[in-house]
Structure 1
Amino acid sequence: FYTPDGDNEINRPVILYMHGGSFTAGDKSTSDCVDFCESFAKMGYVTASLNYRLAPNIINFLTSNETQYETVLKAVSDAKAAVRYFRKDFANGNSYAIDPNAIFVGGYSAGAVIAIHQAYIDNVIDLPTSSIDNNGNAFNVQSIVNNVGGAYGIEGDAGNYGYSSDVNGVISFAGGINDVNWIDNNDEPLVSIQGTNDGTISYNCAPALSSSLVLDLCGAAEMHLQADLAGVLNDKLIYSGEGHSWAANGSNNSKFTQAIEFTSNFLFPLLPCNNTATNVMEVTEKNKRLVKIIDVLGRASNIMTNRPLFYIYSDGSTEYKIIIK
């Protein structure tokens, strides 16, 4: 835990930050975790760097989609329990002096993947019921959730029950989502920072780790297109030509410190201690929002791959592009 030194406030916002490591390695003491948490604690946040369950068998994880789903869902369960821990503490004396209505989750790489799925998988019925693994066997992702969470279902098996695991925003440093359609119009604000040449988690959509045996993840480009379509407050900082590891060494990389500042500016208007209604409106007006998509014949279209489309935005600008998959 990291708390502001000498701060007597009793309603401080919280950020839970999770390390990377492809769900097979990593620890809450890595330099990006420490630097992120210390940076935001100096701004008045309560921050915590979390460990979560890793894949017990690396080979199984890298070759089995079923194991990949199970591993991520267990990590999400751990993150949900951490959110509930803070709300439980608030209800029992508030020793961390937090505002339970200002809890944000984020991370780098796998940590960002956890935060994204924690926020945007709203219900077990969002998940697929019939998937085919790399070995040809069928499996049901909804059954994995029920096996992990038991009677608690999507809330998981990690404890601190009886308190909400809802979050108020998501911070993604080089993260992605398995299905962009999980981002809908009732969802939490999203801020992302990613490089366009990320080979671990694609800036667009591709198998993670650049391996055909690993589930697809869609990065900042696709997540924010969907967030625009769903009307979810969002912003992104894109590093052209940058790969995946810019955040790994924390503040030793200037891009990491820039990402911290960008994230702070995004979160500030969302804090309940500010005039939320006014500030969120101001942020929304500043963001270029996607209004509609049309094809070359002027017909309305959804986001599609391998097809030229025009993306029309609220500021009057238009982008012509092809998303290659």
Structure 2
Amino acid sequence: MKSKLSVFLFLLPLQMLLAQEVYVDSLYKVKEPITKTYAEKDGEKLIVDLYQPENSEKKRPTIVFMHGGGFSGGSPKNPQEVRFTKTAAAKGYNVALISYRLTRKNKSFGCDFAAEGKIKTFQMAAEDYMDAVKYLIDHASEFSIDENKIIAGGSSAGAEAVLNAIYNPQLMFGTENPYKDIQFSAVISLAGAIVDVRYLNKEQAIPGLFFHGTADQLVPYATAPHHYCEPSEPGYIILDGAETITEKLQKLNTSYLFFSFDGAGHEISGMPFQYFPQLFGFLKNVVFQNMKIQETVYE
């Protein structure tokens, strides 16, 4: 009886481990992050903090995340992003948090800043994002990166840069897009928007996971002026938010999961910790199992 009990107690942890899922459950310890410089621009070193799971697969899916801050502040050291990063790495992902040029530091990004300047700001941030991704892909073997499983992500200004880089590359990089060979498996947007959904076509339509509040007064939830500027103001520019983007993805027969928060403002740009099970479940189903999901969740 004692020997049978010992065998049972030995097998129980193994059975529990087998019941857990990589990319969904926390299975790994997380290594100390490594910091690399991916570019130097305007005398500033732009860095990537890379978090990796211990003793996981040799080629790992990699989330590359861009922080928010109105293109004037923020950091890849933000505790919210770091917490997200460690959670994802424990599930088997590499996660890279990047810095980028804060071109509006100590400057306005509101209605008094010309629309042309806003477009240029998006373009420079999108370029930085893609340069960081290119650096990681170029060092894929060194960092155990599966270059066919790159997941983009961003919050607020970071989400605007990332979404524009992926869904509006013509407007960001021109017809001679130097990043056209980089492929993404999915994108995560926390209160982001793009310049023009009409430029989003089947070629760029990768699966998206969106979080946005209906009363966001900075980044439009649907289609509206950025910061709700008046047409007479220099900063008047129309952007397309999560509702408009997901409507286009639906028409393009592309997967998406959209969490729509009634009455919520720009605070939805914060990390959606309570929705992590749905977030990682969506990535598991869409990126790794090629499932088709088109769903809007109203909160």
What is the TM-score normalised by the length of structure 2? Answer: 0.73
Gaps of 5+ in 2: 1-48
The answer for the alignment partner of 1:221 in structure 2 is 243
Decide which of 48, 61, 65 is 2:115's aligned counterpart. 65
Q: What is the identity, as a one-letter code, of the residue corresponding to 2:278?
A: F
Please say if 1:109 is aligned against 2:127.
Answer: no
Decide which of 250, 256, 263 is 2:279's aligned counterpart. 263
The answer for the alignment partner of 1:30 in structure 2 is 78
User: Does the 8 Å contact 1:17/1:106 carry over to 2?
Assistant: yes
Q: What is the identity, as a one-letter code, of the residue corresponding to 2:209?
A: V
Shift of 1:234: 1.2
Shift of 1:261: 2.6
Task: Kindly report the root-mean-square deviation, in angstroms, between the aligned alpha carbons of the 2 structures.
Answer: 2.4
Instruction: Measure, in 2, the Cα distance between the counterparts of 1:183 and 1:69.
Output: 17
Gaps of 5+ in 1: 128-141, 147-151, 157-162, 251-255, 290-325
Instruction: Measure, in 1, the Cα distance between the counterparts of 2:101 and 2:263.
Output: 32
> Residue 184 of structure 1 aligns to a residue in which SS?
coil
- Number of residues of Structure 1 aligned to a counterpart in Structure 2: 241
Shift of 1:45: 0.6
Q: What is the identity, as a one-letter code, of the residue corresponding to 1:280?
A: N
User: Does the 8 Å contact 1:2/1:41 carry over to 2?
Assistant: no
For residues 22-62 of structure 1, the C-alpha deviation after alignment (integer angstroms, 9 at most, x for no partner) is 11222111223212212211111100111111225724875
Please say if 1:280 is aligned against 2:280.
Answer: no
The answer for the alignment partner of 2:194 in structure 1 is 177
The answer for the alignment partner of 1:98 in structure 2 is 145
Please say if 1:231 is aligned against 2:253.
Answer: yes
Identity %: 26
Shift of 1:223: 0.9
Alignment of 1:1-325 (within 5 A): 1-56=49-104, 58-59=107-108, 62-90=112-140, 94-123=141-170, 127=171, 145=173, 153-155=176-178, 164-186=181-203, 187-212=205-230, 213-248=235-270, 250=271, 256-271=272-287, 274=288, 279-281=289-291, 283-284=292-293, 287=294
Distance of aligned partners of 1:45 and 1:96 in 2 relative to their CA distance in 1, 3 Å threshold: same
> Residue 139 of structure 2 aligns to a residue in which SS?
helix
Q: What is the identity, as a one-letter code, of the residue corresponding to 1:210?
A: Y
Shift of 1:220: 1.4
Instruction: Measure, in 1, the Cα distance between the counterparts of 2:161 and 2:183.
Output: 14
For residues 64-83 of structure 1, the C-alpha deviation after alignment (integer angstroms, 9 at most, x for no partner) is 11111111101111111111
Instruction: Measure, in 2, the Cα distance between the counterparts of 1:26 and 1:4.
Output: 22
What is the TM-score normalised by the length of structure 1? Answer: 0.68
Distance of aligned partners of 1:211 and 1:36 in 2 relative to their CA distance in 1, 3 Å threshold: farther
